[in-house]
Amino acid sequence: MHLKRIIFLVLLTLHYFTYSLVAQTNTISKKEINDLTNQASHYLKVADFTKSLEVSKIALNRALFSKDYLSTTISYNTIAANYAELAQFDKAILYYNKAMVYASKINNDTLTNKINNNLGNIYCFEKKQYLKGIRYYENTIKYSEKIADSSQIFMTKLNIAWAYFDVGQFKEGYPNLEYVNKYKEKFGNESNISAVNMLNGMYFSHKNDKVKASSYFLSAIKLGIKTNQKSDLSYAHLEYSKHLSKIGEYKNAYENLTRYNQITDELYNKEKLEKANIAGMNIELDEYRRQIDKFAIEKEANLKIVEKSKIIVLLFIVIVIVLLFLLYTLIKNNNFKKKSNKELSSANKQLIIAKEKAEESTKLKSQFVSTISHELRTPLYGVVGITDILIDENKDLANNPYLKSLKFSAKYLLSLVNDILQMNKIEDNKIILEDFTFNIADEIDMVKDSLKFLAQNNNNEVILNIDPAIPEYLIGDKLRLSQIIVNLVGNALKFTKNGEVAVHVRLLKIEGTSCSLEFKIVDNGIGIAKEDQKKIFEKFVQVGRKETDYQGTGLGLSIVKQLVGLFNSNVSVESAIDVGTEFKFIIAFEYNPSKTLELINNIRVNVSENKAINVLVVEDNLINQLVTKKTIEKNNYKCSVVDNGYAALELLDKETFDIILMDINMPMINGFETTKKIRSKGIITPIIALTAFDKSEITEDSLAAGINDIIIKPFDSEKLFNIITELTTEKLEVV
């Protein structure tokens, strides 16, 4: 009975403290949290990073406890902004991304807009990752347009222009500066007008207009001093210093550079940064002190209670016994944990070894994919190119069904190879569907012709049933659709002998500009067991076959599933053993007669046909030399071919060319090094990388070398001529 009373007193005491704690936390109001977030923002504006971080962390803890996601987003954004000012950019990115997560939970486009802009600033101006930074700016413009925030669009285009100018890409950045100049009176203020003047100064300095450049820079500095915007003022002095140095006013340039350093030192003096960096530690120390004070007060109160009451003393003794028991339990558990940790440590080492092996395997796989991509695309370039040459030089073969099927199959094989080699891109939805005008009956008929040999091999008949109600012309990615049909029909033909494979295309409905079609591929072959039907869409899975039967990789249906998914649809299967199989899917294409007519009318005709353009092709592969030379000369261009970079350099010393087509993977000296040597000679002739490498693999190296554009082999000759026309026109404008 006595023990029950003691337990009751302990529980009552715990209940009291718990109730007090809950009562205290529940008193946190949204107004208090808002006041804290506003206070933190104020400290940030006045560059008191220490106080801003301290107040932000208090606001963040209270916002998270109250599930106030709006204040949570604002607090994370403020903390990130502090770290950005302190040049701790990795921490800033971390907290901006956390802010983005909470902004998405409340669908707050305004905050999402600002966070994207802040991330764009860091990646462009601090990380120097301009492509990534500009993507964030583009997201900012998208959200700004969504919420009709014209002021933010103005600021974002200002930042994009600044980013391009910062790397010397004035042509790319100038449209944004034009927009900013147009709307600066409407959306600008004294603060950002200083930056606008600085950008105009940079542009006119690039254009060698000394008077305008100096005028704009001085206006930027004057406004920066007036508004006390030290960051923009410092950049105005820096860019003005560069301009002065460029025009030979070195003394004035030095004075402006000195002023830039002085302002930067004021903004980021060492003492201020050190105080801010220990702000988080000071907050934690304060928390520990409060806990110690609390325990000291409780201890003093307990001593007074012990003196006044024997019951309390007895309770204290019981508690001590319990604590001793807990201590014993903790010691015992600690020993157990040590043993477990030792085992976990051993297992962790094995996991690390396995992880390193997996990473090495992934690296080797990536290298293999890159190499095989180049090796496969190179001969395919020859196949596609020579097929085109045969058709061009033998007009009587233009309508030859075998040659047409060969050309179609070669293009399909190229697309299939690209998709297999870039399976990760398909799974990450990085493939973008393209818009072409096409006739569904023609595309299906082309598929039938390309699979004629496979059908005859198994004595099968391919039957087409195209709904006549389907509009004559639709808009969509006909190549991806052909891949789907080829895979499904080809699969059906392999598993059917002496039978039929039918392709049914039925019009479901037309709503506005959307035309929904139902596709069915039906065969009367061996069928698929019910238990295997869920497996067939997995990669490298083949069912219902013996080791010597049916060729294939097991990738066809997996690719079909992912390609159908790109059309926002699903593929289903119904099958029975020895009865047959039916695959079905629905795709909505665009039906827009006016747009179709526009696409047909916009098929570009190469207007540079009569221009005397002199082209130099640098290519080591003999077949590729033949194909490229024939393609160039077909457009009435003059073409010279060399098989290595040194020969190109030697020829350029003797002859002038309007455009250079540069292979990348060549012996002796590759395309990048050849381009660098060409640029070092002061030759500004546009250079196009004509390569079998994936574009994403060589973009950075190409820009660094001085290459103007990239086109992947096999290429569309019309696209090549359009790029040549554009680059040669730009060259003439510059001259």
At 544-603, the pLDDT tens digits run: 544 444 444 556 787 888 889 889 999 999 998 988 999 999 999 999 888 888 777 665
Give the residue from 265, 295, 312 where a domain finishes.
Answer: 265
153 has pLDDT over 50: yes
Cα–Cα nearest to 198, from 152, 227, 153, 165: 165
CA angle 177, 180, 182 (to 5 degrees): 110
**Arithmetic mean of pLDDT, 410-433:** 63
Q: What is the pLDDT of residues 281-296, one digit of tens each?
A: 544 444 344 356 556 6
Quick check: 4 pLDDT over 50? no
Residue 566 shares a structural domain with residue 462:
yes
Task: Give the pLDDT confidence score for residue 295 in this predicted structure.
Answer: 61
Pairing between β-strand 659-662 and β-strand 687-691 as defined by DSSP bridges: parallel
Q: Taking Cα atoms as reference points, which of 548, 547, 570, 545 lies closest to residue 560?
A: 570
Across 248-273, average pLDDT: 79
Residue 74, both tokens = 């604002």
Q: How confident is the model at residue 370 (pLDDT cuts 50, 70, 90)?
A: low
Taking only the tens place, the pLDDT of each residue in 188-209 is 777 688 888 889 989 998 889 9
Listed ranges 329-338, 350-359, 415-424; the one with the highest mean pLDDT: 329-338
Band of the pLDDT at 330, cuts 50, 70, 90?
confident
Is residue 328 one of the residues assigned to a domain? no
Tell whether 618 and 596 lie within a shared domain. no
CA distance 472 to 489: 23
Beta strands, E only, 436-591: 436-438, 461-466, 474-476, 500-511, 514-523, 571-576, 580-590
Say which residues have a Cβ less than 8 Å from residue 717's Cβ, sequence separation at least 6. Answer: 388, 631, 634, 635
**What percentage of the chain carries pLDDT values higher than 90?**
20
The set of residues, in sequence order, having a beta carbon less than 8 Å from that of 575 and lying 6+ positions away, is 527, 528, 530, 533, 581, 582
Burial class (CB in 10 A: 0-12, 13-18, 19+), 45: exposed
Residue 156 domain-assigned? no
457 and 539: one domain? yes
In a domain, 221, yes or no: yes
Q: What is the pLDDT of residue 366?
A: 56
Residues contacting residue 121 through CB under 8 Å, at least 6 positions apart = 84, 133, 159
Quote the tokens at residue 446: 């082309």
Q: What is the mean pLDDT of the chain?
A: 80
pLDDT greater than 80 at residue 360: no
12 has a pLDDT exceeding 90 = no
- Confirm if 525 and 497 have CB atoms less than 8 A apart: yes
What are the Cα distances from residue 547, in Å, to 494, 543, 551?
A: 14, 10, 9
Same structural domain, 506 and 595: yes
Residues 404-416, mean pLDDT to the nearest whole number: 67
Higher pLDDT, residue 433 or 617: 617
Are both 656 and 631 inside the same structural domain? yes
Range of the domain at 719: 614-734
Q: Are residues 662 and 691 in the same domain?
A: yes
For 74-83, 165-174, 410-419, 681-690, which range has the lowest pLDDT when averaged over its residues? 410-419
Is residue 365 in some structural domain? no
* Arithmetic mean of pLDDT, 613-627: 90
- pLDDT in the model for residue 434: 83
Tell me: the pLDDT tens digits for 61-99?
Answer: 888 888 888 988 998 899 888 888 887 888 889 889 988
Kindly state whether residues 454 and 510 are assigned to the same domain.
Answer: yes
**In this structure, are 596 and 557 located in the same domain?**
yes
**Residue 321 belongs to some domain of the structure:** no
- 116 contacts 136 by C-beta, under 8 angstroms: yes
Kindly report whether the peptide bond that precedes residue 593 is cis, defined as omega within 30 degrees of 0: no
> Does residue 502 share a domain with residue 630?
no
- Whose CA is closest to 618, among 654, 594, 586, 651? 651
Residue 311: pLDDT band (50, 70, 90) is: confident
Domain total in the chain:
3
309-313, 378-382, 390-394, range with the lowest pLDDT = 378-382
User: How far is 691 from 378, CA to CA, in rounded Å?
Assistant: 8
User: How far is the C-alpha of 126 from the C-alpha of 123, rounded, in Å?
Assistant: 6
Q: Would you say residue 397 lies in a domain?
A: no
Question: Are the C-beta atoms of 103 and 65 separated by less than 8 Å?
Answer: no
Tally of residues, the chain: 735
| One domain, residues 505 and 633 | no
Q: What is the CATH number of the domain that holds 680?
A: 3.40.50.2300
The pLDDT of 432-457, averaged and rounded, is: 87
> How far is Cα 340 from Cα 403, in angstroms, rounded to an integer?
70
Residues 439, 564, single domain; the answer is yes
List for the chain the helix, strand, coil content (%; round to 5).
Answer: 70, 10, 20
Q: Does residue 504 register a pLDDT over 90?
A: yes
**Does residue 372 lie in a domain region?**
no
Residue 335 has pLDDT above 70, yes or no: yes
pLDDT tens digits for range 510-524? 999 999 999 999 999
Domain co-membership, 710 together with 586: no
CATH classification of the domain holding 213:
1.25.40
Q: Where residue 705 falls among pLDDT bands split at 50, 70, 90?
A: very high
Q: Is position 311 within any domain?
A: no
End-to-end, the C-alpha distance of the chain in Å comes to: 104
pLDDT, tens digit, for every residue of 531-549? Answer: 887 778 776 566 654 444 4
- DSSP 8-state secondary structure symbol assigned to residue 526: S
Q: In the prediction, which pLDDT does 412 show? A: 61
In single-letter form, the type of residue at position 110 comes to T
Domain end point (choices 234, 265, 296): 265
CB distance 710 to 695 below 8 Å: yes
Most confident range, picked from 227-241, 298-312, 410-424, 633-647: 633-647
Question: For residue 471, what is the domain's CATH number?
Answer: 3.30.565.10
Q: Where are the alpha helices (DSSP H) in 539-637?
A: 556-566, 593-601, 622-634
Considering 543, 571, 601, which residue would you say is the last residue of a domain?
A: 601
Question: Is the pLDDT at 243 greater than 70, yes or no?
Answer: yes
- pLDDT recorded at residue 643: 92
Residue the block writes with tokens 């059309």: 567
* Separation of alpha carbons 489 and 502, rounded Å: 8
